[in-house]
Amino acid sequence: MSITLVIVILTSIISIVAMSNAKMKGELIFWPAVIKSSGQYYRFLSYGLIHADYIHLSFNMLSLYSFGVFVEEHLFSAPYFFDVKGKIFFLVMYVGALVISTIPDYIKYKDVYGYTALGASGAVSAVIFAGIILQPNLPIRFMFIPFDIPGYIFGILFLGLSAYLAKKGTGNIGHVAHFFGAVFGIVFTVIAVKLFSNNHIDVLSEFMRSILNR
């Protein structure tokens, strides 16, 4: 069984249970002020196991499964970069993204008791952008757009929009987590492939070559 599927199943079960259990949800949610005052650092990870509602959960898990299996089994693993270690690197990236994507919000809201956040969006963004940086021309399609968008174009639009909306402070969506999760996915993949892969490829050079030779 893939690491991706394990994460999807575990997250779905815990999220569904927590939707009808306010106490459980409160114990798992990302709550910067409580982390600071009580040292509950596990919240940097546990918030990614719960979601606001079925739509939020479904969107994140479908996105994770669609991209995660591709990244885990067809890019990170043999015969590409990490062989049998691919699953370990994939898991490290996912868990790392959960932590890194929340640090900016922790710094900003650590003294604001009214701020909380939940959902695996930051980690999902990391997985998506790991796929894009390794396969920049990966076709991405949305239901409301009747044609494929190259992955690198989607990535540019996603990062630009997330940065703009984060600065603007629009709605309750964690645009900051989306942005930093995506950036972490790129940085982690570039460094991991360069230092630990079978062929030590310069991912950024290959990324540019793929775009220019398209």
Exposure string over 115-126, b if 16+ CB within 10 A, otherwise e:
ebbbbbbbbbbb
Whether pLDDT at 169 is above 60? no
pLDDT (0 to 100) of residue 43 = 96
Whether residue 148 is predicted with pLDDT greater than 60 in this model: the reply is: yes
Q: What CATH number is attached to the domain comprising 16?
A: 1.20.1540.10
**pLDDT over 90 at 19, yes or no:** yes
Tens of pLDDT along 92-141?
A: 999 999 999 999 999 999 999 998 989 898 999 999 899 888 888 877 76
Q: Which residues pair with 139 in a beta bridge?
A: 150
CB distance 24 to 17 below 8 Å: yes
What's the mean pLDDT in 187-191? 93
For residue 172, the model assigns a pLDDT of 47
Closest by CA to 30, choosing from 119, 120, 122, 118, is 118
Task: Identify which has the larger pLDDT, 28 or 143.
Answer: 28
> Could you tell me the two tokens for 71?
């990244």
Residues 145-154 have a mean pLDDT of: 73
Range of the domain at 156: 3-212
Q: Which residues pair with 117 in a beta bridge?
A: 30
Tens of pLDDT, residues 30-46 = 999 999 999 999 999 99
Look at the chain and report how many structural domains it folds into: 1
Complete DSSP assignment for 125-164: HHHHHHHHHHSTT-EE--TTSSS-EEHHHHHHHHHHHHHH
**Cβ neighbourhood burial of 18 (10 Å; 0-12, 13-18, 19+):** buried
Share of the chain above pLDDT 70, in %: 88
